[in-house]
Structure formats: C-alpha cells, structure tokens
C-alpha cells in the first residue's frame, strides 16, 4: 500500500475540501474579558489548515489604546492555539480610527469521526473606547 493510499483511507471526505464559518457580527470588547468573536465551524476527521481572519475596528473617537490583543482557538477537545495579535505593553498610545485586518494560520488535527466544533475568542486589554472585532474561520483539508 502506498503512502498516499494510507492518507486517503485515513481521511473522511475529499482532500482540498473547504469550509467557512461565515460572517460574524462585530463584538464590542471589554478590557481583560474574553469574548466569542466567530461563528462555529464544524470539521470532519482529518488534518485541516485553519485560517483565521481577524478584523479589529477601533472606535471613531481616536482614544482606543491596545496593550494586547490575543486570539484563542477552542474546540470540543479543549484549547487549540493561542495567538498574540498585538502586544504593546502598558504604555501603548491611541490607535487611529480604522479597521485593522490580521490573519493567522494553524494546523487543526481532528482525530475522531465525530464533528469537531471550532470557535474563536478574543481578549483585549487596553484603555479608552473599546474596539470591536470579528473573526472569520476558513479551513482547507490537507490530510
């Protein structure tokens, strides 16, 4: 049996299949409190490339300060990854009024035949007017 045959037997569905979580209404963040920022994404058994597009929008009054912005990916089995998107320290100045896009990619292992449910949480710490954020999840099956 060839290596590629073993990979195909181990997968549940077509390689290269894509799934997306769909648009999520932006959530206004509270400092130091984690908030769900994406729709749920369900993946079948296999190995997936999990892309996260984070859209951070600062308040229009120009007073939003960001000490840190942290993305935590969770699934049914527990924490998948923690990505620090912004880390300024306690002396960060005000960010301009704008929508700031960020993107990260992880590998998600889904070892069981049951659906794996993924969701993104964002934790912001800072001062001034709170920003809003949304996260779009897209996955491509690689094994």
- Report the predicted TM-score, pTM, of the whole model to 2 decimal places: 0.82
Contact residues for 11 (Cβ-Cβ < 8 A; gap 6+): 45, 46, 141, 143
- Alpha-carbon distance of 28 to 46, in angstroms, equals 34
What sign does the dihedral 6-44-104-15 (CA atoms) show? positive
Does residue 10 register a pLDDT over 70?
no
pLDDT of residue 13: 58
> If you classify domain 3-141 with CATH, what class do you get?
mainly beta
How many helices (H) and strands (E) the chain has is answered by 1, 10
HSE-up of 3 (CA within 13 Å, CB side)? 1
Rounded to an integer, the average pLDDT of 80-93 is 84
Over the chain, what is the mean pLDDT? 85
Percent of the chain residues topping a pLDDT of 90: 54
Rounded to an integer, the average pLDDT of 52-64 is 92
- Alpha-carbon distance of 21 to 118, in angstroms, equals 9
143 neighbors 46 (Cβ within 8 angstroms): yes
9 phi/psi in degrees, rounded to 5: -65, -40
Does residue 1 register a pLDDT over 60?
no
């Amino acid at each position: 049996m060839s290596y590629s045959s073993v990979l195909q037997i181990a997968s549940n569905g077509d390689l290269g299949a894509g799934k997306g979580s769909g648009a999520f209404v932006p959530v206004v963040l509270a400092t130091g409190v984690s908030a769900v920022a994406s729709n749920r994404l369900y993946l079948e058994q296999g190995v997936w490339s999990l892309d996260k597009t984070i859209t951070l929008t600062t308040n229009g009054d120009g007073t939003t300060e960001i000490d840190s912005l942290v993305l935590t990916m969770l699934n049914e089995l527990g924490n998948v990854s923690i990505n620090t998107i912004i880390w300024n320290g306690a002396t960060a100045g005000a960010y301009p009024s704008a929508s700031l896009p960020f993107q990260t990619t992880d590998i998600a292992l889904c070892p069981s035949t049951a659906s794996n449910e993924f969701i993104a949480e964002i934790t912001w710490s800072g001062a001034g007017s709170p920003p809003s954020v949304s996260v779009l999840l897209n996955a491509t099956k690689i094994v």
